[in-house]
Homo-oligomer: A and B are copies of this chain.
Amino acid sequence: MKPIVFWFDFGSPYGYLMAERIGDLAAAHGRTVQWRPILLFAVLRQLELPAPMAHAAKRDYLLLDFDRSARHLGVAYRHPSRFPVISPLPARLFQVLAQRDEWAAVAFARAALQAAFQHDQPLDDADYLGALAARFDSRDAATLLQEAQADAARAALAASIEDAVRQQVFGSPFVQIDGEPFFGADRLPQIEARLSGCLAPAHRE
């Protein structure tokens, strides 16, 4: 069976919530997950959609709902003191690790998301992020950070963003199961029902 595709932005609170759950949920149903970091602002700009926090009314609600949704899922959450989170560096480091070992990249992604949304660690801190990435790779932090600025990592991330635009990935998290799209951490119950066969595949109208 094809892997479940999980699109996320490293700065997205709901993306973090999904990241804490999707791997175990997929494994429980014999499926693997392909993790695809994007820069959501770049995708939304190309899709001509507004950013989720752009309007005051929605921003107030989201600030309340991030924490509530985490409590509802039983996931630890501490809202970053600097928000929005600046996410290009971890997205590029992910690509650098994935060039050698996809699962190392996923382990790094989980650690970076937990750093941001449990431990208030800024994700644009190169010293911190380089050291974190080096825990999952045989290359040292300085080399990994250098690679993250190189053309290959930039091109890989740009390709993911292009794929996301083409596939209308208009938010984070965005999950695809055999092509069927699920937007938002609040779709976890439907994803579980879909994987366990309680919910039939959806077809576009």
Contacts and interface: CB of A to CB of B under 8 A. Distances in A.
A27 interface: no
A3 interface: no
Interface residues of A, number: 35
Nearest to A83: B205
A183 interface: yes
A61 B189 CA distance: 17
Q: Count chain B CB atoms within 10 A of each CB in A55, A68, A181 and give the residue with the most.
A: A68
18 contacts: A47-B57, A48-B55, A50-B50, A60-B168, A60-B204, A61-B168, A61-B170, A61-B183, A63-B204, A64-B181, A64-B205, A68-B190, A68-B202, A69-B190, A71-B200, A72-B199, A184-B186, A186-B186
Contacts of A68: 190, 199, 202
Nearest to A183: B61
Interface string A146-186: 00000000000000000000001010000000001101101
Given A68-B202, A72-B190, 12 more contacts: A47-B55, A48-B55, A49-B55, A60-B168, A60-B204, A63-B205, A64-B203, A69-B190, A79-B205, A184-B186, A186-B186, A186-B187
A38 to B, nearest CB: 14
A57 B79 CA distance: 29
Contacts of A64: 180-181, 202-205
Nearest to A189: B189
Nearest to A54: B49
Nearest to A66: B205
